Amino acid sequence: MVRTDFAHDEQWSKLTDAVTTPTPEGFLANLQIVDDLDNDGGDWQQLLDALPRKPVAFIADTIALTEPGYPILVVDAWDERPHQPFRCTAAALWGV
């Protein structure tokens, strides 16, 4: 999960806690946390060009950090032409 909003530190901390804590059933998203100030304000297309190639990119942008449920931007990064991004709440991210 890549952070692109550095104005909401408290929400970022809560979001990372949410995605790194297993559900009561033991499910947990398989992701790497990227907290690099160089990504501040970046959009998902720029990030895909800069990040190592992974099947899916999870983006913690301003919407993800300020809306209820932490709706993380999910981008199919596997294909040369990614599918349309969608949002997924932090609690359901393990299912993606």
* pLDDT tens, position by position, 7-20: 999 999 999 999 99
Mean pLDDT throughout 75-88?
80
How many CA atoms does the CB half-sphere of 21 hold within 13 Å?
9
One DSSP character per residue, 16-40 reads HHHHSS--TT--------B--GGGT
* pLDDT tens, position by position, 44-78: 877 877 776 678 889 999 999 999 999 999 988 77
Predicted pLDDT at 96: 86
What's the pTM value of the predicted model, to 2 decimals? 0.87
* pLDDT tens, position by position, 36-46: 998 898 888 77
